[in-house]
Chain A
Amino acid sequence: MAYIEVKEGVPGIRSLFQFSPETGKPLCELAEVLLRGPSPLSSAERELVAAYVSRLNGCMFCMNSHAAAARHLFDEEKQVVDELLHDQNAESLSPKLKALLHIAGKVQGNGKSVTPDDIENARKTGANDTDIHDTVLIAASFSMFNRYVDGLASFTPTGEAAYEEMGKRMGQKGYHI
């Protein structure tokens, strides 16, 4: 049971967007521009960062839904998603993505734990300023989304089928309200 009165059966953050459309609007816009807007990182890579940070925060709803979106977007290479969720140094990840995920993991702890070496290592793999900016803000924003979803104890569906459908829709339609 959620801590506040939201519509029963509506999963996770969607029940909160319905409860508070005033805040839902900028939050959806933020997800849309961060995960689907112009960026040197592909949408699939950005969804992967989102799923990874959500896993570190222990937010099952966000992890499962964004992992499902990433699987949909990676398509034939979707095994990379499950490999990452089991091992952050998975062989199938590009060195650049590995370095950016490392930064995202630091941001999840606290912004201050990112070091000049973390940034330098990412640059050596070809990451530019915008790659780094977007990675930091995606990781920071999921440190918000995860807390919003779990801090109000919103409904978290169980079972893969629910998330597969959700991920497909997120992959195809994005985050427009």
Chain B
Amino acid sequence: MKKWEKGWDKKDITFKKEKMAFIDLQNELPGIRGPMIYRPETGTILNDLAEVLLHDEDNTLSRGDREMIGAYTSYLNDCFFCQNVHGAMAQHYFQCDMQFIDNIKKDFLSADISEKLKSLLSIAGSVQKGGRFVTAEQIEEAKKLGATDREIHDTVLIAAAFCMYNRYVDGLNTWAPTDRQVYIDRAPMRAREGYSQLGLTK
């Protein structure tokens, strides 16, 4: 399979500029795709985890809500690649504009989203600081607003997983396209195919 077949256009590489990953990834793909292809043994599993957390249909949280939790956590971790990939995914599912997503990231309490999603984003924000920052009151509030144990579990694990993905992407200094439209253009394809379909051939 050609390197560019799965959606990243060769023109995206013009955004690469001077940024070099800390190790020789032996491929030019942006963000997490670079190290995933470098080390497919772990890359495949990381995609499987993303698939079950974010794309699996057997979940009472919508795909949009789950992507938003990932995008918000990535925003708090200041990971440009992940917050744009997953912000664009949430935008695709919510059928909204970029400003709507940016407003949620900056101040979700004032955003036009359900009170339940607000309570889950608040839990995700605590997880981002550290697991022990989550309080019994936050959990109680989410449950009062209708969140099930399963939904609370998934919220905590999505936020925790993005604390991993973000550190993987930035800890190896991978590059990311700076044009945010690039991420929005790719979202419909990723929504269709999911994460486990990502080819990991070089």
Which positions in A face B, CB cutoff 8 Å? 3-5, 16, 19-20, 22-23, 25-27, 29-30, 33-34, 37-38, 57-59, 103, 106-108, 110-112, 114, 116, 119, 129-130, 132-134, 136-137, 139-141, 143-153
Contact indicator A148/B157 (Cβ below 8 Å): yes
- Give the chain B neighbours of A139 by CB distance below 8 A: 167, 171
Given A114-B22, A134-B39, 13 more A-B residue pairs with CB atoms under 8 Å apart are A22-B58, A25-B48, A103-B171, A111-B79, A111-B169, A111-B171, A114-B171, A137-B168, A140-B171, A144-B160, A148-B156, A151-B123, A151-B131
- Give the chain A neighbours of B173 by CB distance below 8 A: 114
Contact indicator B39/A133 (Cβ below 8 Å): yes
- How many Å lie between the Cα of A139 and that of B171 in the bound state? 10
Contact indicator B56/A146 (Cβ below 8 Å): no
Contact indicator B42/A111 (Cβ below 8 Å): no
- How many Å lie between the Cα of A33 and that of B22 in the bound state? 22
- How many Å lie between the Cα of A28 and that of B27 in the bound state? 28
Contact indicator B48/A144 (Cβ below 8 Å): no
Q: How many A-B residue pairs lie within 8 Å, measured between CB atoms?
A: 150
Digitize B2-33: 1 where CB-to-A-CB distance is under 8 Å, 0 elsewhere: 00000000000000000000111000000000
- Give the chain B neighbours of A112 by CB distance below 8 A: 78, 170-171
**Shortest CB distance A112–B (Å):** 5
- Give the chain B neighbours of A150 by CB distance below 8 A: 130-132, 134
- Give the chain B neighbours of A3 by CB distance below 8 A: 134, 136, 139, 152
With beta carbons under 8 angstroms apart, the residue of B22, B45, B77 that contacts A116 is: B22
Q: Which 10 A-B pairs have the closest CB atoms?
A: A150-B131, A111-B170, A111-B171, A144-B164, A140-B167, A147-B160, A151-B131, A4-B149, A129-B23, A111-B167
- Give the chain A neighbours of B157 by CB distance below 8 A: 20, 23, 148
Q: How many residues of B contact A (CB 8 A)?
A: 49
Contact indicator B168/A140 (Cβ below 8 Å): yes
With beta carbons under 8 angstroms apart, the residue of B132, B139, B156, B172 that contacts A136 is: B172
- How many Å lie between the Cα of A3 and that of B156 in the bound state? 11
Contact indicator A136/B167 (Cβ below 8 Å): yes
Contact indicator B163/A147 (Cβ below 8 Å): yes
Is B84 engaged at the interface, CB distance under 8 Å to the other chain?
A: no
**Shortest CB distance B101–A (Å):** 22
- Give the chain A neighbours of B79 by CB distance below 8 A: 111
**Shortest CB distance B182–A (Å):** 21
**Shortest CB distance A57–B (Å):** 6
- Give the chain B neighbours of A38 by CB distance below 8 A: 41
Q: A136-B172, A151-B156 are in contact. Are A33 and B52 (CB under 8 A)?
A: no
Q: A107-B171, A151-B126 are in contact. Are A144 and B163 (CB under 8 A)?
A: yes
